[in-house]
Amino acid sequence: MAADTLLNDFELPFQLYDVLGTESLTEHAKFSEHSRETFDAVLETANKIATDLFLPHNHIADKNEPQFDGKKSQHDKRCKSRF
């Protein structure tokens, strides 16, 4: 796993397809239009969004944790567009 990614490229597909058998969902009418390629495309898009938009701000949010006063939450302004 590279330092600039959130997930191990092997672990998630292994868990979804080998352990959980996610591809078997396509046998049901509700998911019949999908395939492993569809699932992989969704995961790739989600990983890109997370890596491009959220990962760079993790350290900022860790150093300047959001605060909640009971009514509103306050976040570091550099991270606000990500939430």
pLDDT given for residue 27 in this prediction: 95
Q: Is residue 6 part of a domain?
A: no
pLDDT given for residue 45 in this prediction: 93
pLDDT given for residue 18 in this prediction: 95
Q: Is residue 59 part of a domain?
A: yes
pLDDT given for residue 81 in this prediction: 60
Q: Is residue 3 part of a domain?
A: no
For 6-58, the pLDDT digits (tens) are 678 889 999 999 999 999 999 999 999 999 999 999 999 998 888 888 887 87
Cross-strand partners of 67: 74
Q: Let me know: does 6 contact 47? Beta carbons within 8 Å.
A: yes
What domain range includes position 36? 11-82
Residue from 72, 16, 73, 74 nearest 43 by CA: 16
Number of structural domains (the chain) is: 1
Alpha carbon distance 72, 44 (integer Å): 33
Q: Is residue 54 part of a domain?
A: yes
What would the two tokens of residue 35 be? 């395939």
In this prediction the pTM is 0.66
